[in-house]
């Protein structure tokens, strides 16, 4: 059997591949199984069970080369991030929407229906919203990235209804704290205002301190993506879309956690220079969700934000 991970060279994709290789995931990747990573760069995970294919997921020929009758599970993580998709509409449409449809069509051609786990985003929401977003709230994206993700969600639900794939749409919280360097995502600061100060570097907060964010640690997101693949489709019913659990934290509370974990000196390294482009995107996103359904389905949530920052600090010191 074969598992395909698009975006397998990225931060989240590489971590997911490492988790799939662990003995605890042998129900998803049994002995003799293979993981195929598809990305613009080679997968950094060095393991004989990982086959790395480099190419553009918006190229139909490349997609066709990745799927065959042995493909039982697809994780579709490849995407153009929010800020980049807003700046380059055509690129965002080609990668975030057109490539998703091409991948779904390749799955549709297989005799065995693959499970299809899609990494969506809370950016599908926008406009007037209640303080806490219920499961039933309809998407109203206020960014091109959010619109592209929302369109892909509808496709996956319909392909699942038709029996072409066994889909699970996971609307990921903003992941914090991401290791590495800042990227073009509008939410990049949600890691930068913690990661850089803990490393002794200055960082900027581009949004107001009372901005509320919906956050999850990297490990919890990985655990929940694994759980999504294990779920019986019958348990999801007609609604294949899930708002994955997160914790609702104001930026001021994030900085309080930074001070408690890293000290006042780390907190003092955060400056405040507003960025209208970032605010326009990020401040349109909801900051709190009703997660009763995903918790009932067995998804997990971080205990609190201090524990998230401490986990990142431990990873830094390894």
The separation between the first and the last C-alpha atoms of the chain, rounded to the nearest angstrom, is 34
Listed residue (232, 241, 1, 233) closest to 110, CA to CA: 1
Q: State both tokens at 36.
A: 């195929």
Q: How many CB atoms lie within 10 A of CB 126?
A: 20
Q: Which residues share a beta bridge with 53?
A: 38
For residue 15, the number of C-alpha atoms closer than 13 Å in the C-beta half-sphere is: 17
What is residue 99's three-state secondary structure? helix
According to DSSP, residue 278 is labeled H
According to DSSP, residue 289 is labeled B
59 to 16, 19, 271, 292, 317: CA distances (angstroms): 23, 28, 42, 39, 40
250 exposure class (CB count in 10 Å sphere: 0-12, 13-18, 19+): middle
With a CB cutoff of 8 Å and minimum separation 6, the contacts of 251 are: 193, 205, 207, 208, 209, 210, 211, 213
- Catalytic residues, by residue number, are 145
CA distance 291 to 301: 9
């Amino acid at each position: 059997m074969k598992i395909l991970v698009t975006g397998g060279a990225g931060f989240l994709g590489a971590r997911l591949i490492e988790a799939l290789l662990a003995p605890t995931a042998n129900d998803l990747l049994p002995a003799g199984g293979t993981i195929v990573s598809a990305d613009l760069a080679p997968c950094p995970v060095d393991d004989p069970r990982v086959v790395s294919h480099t190419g553009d997921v918006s190229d139909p020929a490349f997609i066709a080369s990745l799927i065959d009758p042995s493909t039982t599970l697809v994780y579709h993580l490849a995407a153009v991030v929010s800020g980049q998709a807003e700046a380059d509409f055509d690129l965002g449409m080609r990668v975030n929407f057109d490539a998703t449809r091409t991948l779904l069509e390749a799955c549709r051609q297989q005799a065995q229906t693959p499970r299809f786990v899609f990494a969506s985003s809370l950016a599908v929401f926008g406009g007037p919203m209640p303080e806490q977003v219920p499961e039933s709230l309809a998407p109203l994206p206020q960014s091109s990235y959010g619109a592209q993700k929302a369109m892909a969600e509808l496709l996956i639900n319909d392909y699942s209804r038709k029996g072409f794939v066994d889909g699970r749409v996971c609307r990921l919280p903003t992941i914090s704290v991401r290791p590495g360097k800042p990227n073009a995502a509008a939410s990049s600061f949600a890691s930068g205002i913690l990661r850089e100060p803990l490393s002794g570097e200055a960082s900027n907060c581009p949004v107001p301190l009372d901005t509320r964010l919906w956050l999850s640690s990297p490990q919890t997101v990985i655990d929940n993506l694994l759980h999504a693949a294990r779920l019986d489709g019958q348990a999801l019913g007609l609604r294949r879309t899930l708002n994955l659990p997160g914790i609702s934290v104001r930026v001021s509370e994030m900085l309080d956690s930074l001070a408690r974990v890293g000290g006042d000196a780390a907190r003092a390294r955060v400056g405040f220079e507003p960025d209208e482009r970032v605010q326009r995107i990020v401040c349109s996103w909801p900051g709190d969700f009703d997660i009763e359904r995903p918790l009932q389905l067995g998804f997990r949530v971080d205990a609190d934000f201090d524990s998230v920052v401490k986990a990142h600090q431990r990873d830094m010191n390894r």
